Amino acid sequence: MSKHHYFLAAKLPNEVKDYLNEWVEKNKLDFPFARWVHSEDYHITLAFLGFAEESMKQEVIDTMSQVLVDERPFTLTLHKIGTFGPHKKPRIFWADVEQSESLNTVQKKVYRQCINIGFQLDKKPFRPHITLARKWQGEGDFDIETLKVFEDSPSFTVNEIVLYETHLDKTPKYHEYARFALGEKE
């Protein structure tokens, strides 16, 4: 068994990672979180696999392109900033995207295939987001009124799903292990 965690995610284009990183650099002093995510690690998780047996990981690699064969690249638009966890001391600080039927369809297909392979996945409803930081460490309570919508709401195209491998001892810590293009027939 590997010592790494694995997850499947919608890959973000570099321009969106740069946009989010610029936003973070301009605003992070207003939001004192303990750990900020490296901009290369920004993504939208579709299915968190955790530790993966080699045979199961290989089955993901061997079957995911076929599972996604009818899916085409789609456009997402950044929407707003939000949090997960207790309102006064949130665990996760994130950016989300506007509702997308295409993203939901791709996530359901990826999730279902991982279940079919035998992975035990989180059963919480899918809430697409891009984690920016973790663990509130402000002296006072977090003020939810400070959250905002992105001013220019950039849009971007998702044309690839990636199987990432986590390396906790590195920065950035997510390594592209396998890639699955949308809209490509084998």
184 pLDDT tier (thresholds 50, 70, 90): low
pTM of the model as a whole: 0.94
Structural domain including 100 reads: 5-181
CA distances 76 to 16, 31, 58, 70, Å, are 11, 25, 29, 18
Q: Is the peptide bond before 172 cis (omega within 30 degrees of 0)?
A: yes
Domain count, the chain: 1
CATH of the domain at 116: 3.90.1140.10
> What pLDDT score was predicted for residue 185?
56
> Where in the sequence numbering do the catalytic residues fall?
43, 129
Question: 99 lies in a domain?
Answer: yes
Question: 171 lies in a domain?
Answer: yes
State the Cα–Cα distance between residues 186 and 180, nearest whole angstrom. 11
Question: 165 lies in a domain?
Answer: yes
Q: Answer yes or no: are the C-beta atoms of 95 and 53 closer than 8 Å.
A: no
pLDDT in tens, 9-21: 999 999 999 999 9
pLDDT in tens, 73-91: 999 999 999 999 998 999 9
CA 136 from centroid of its chain's CA atoms: 20
Question: 186 lies in a domain?
Answer: no
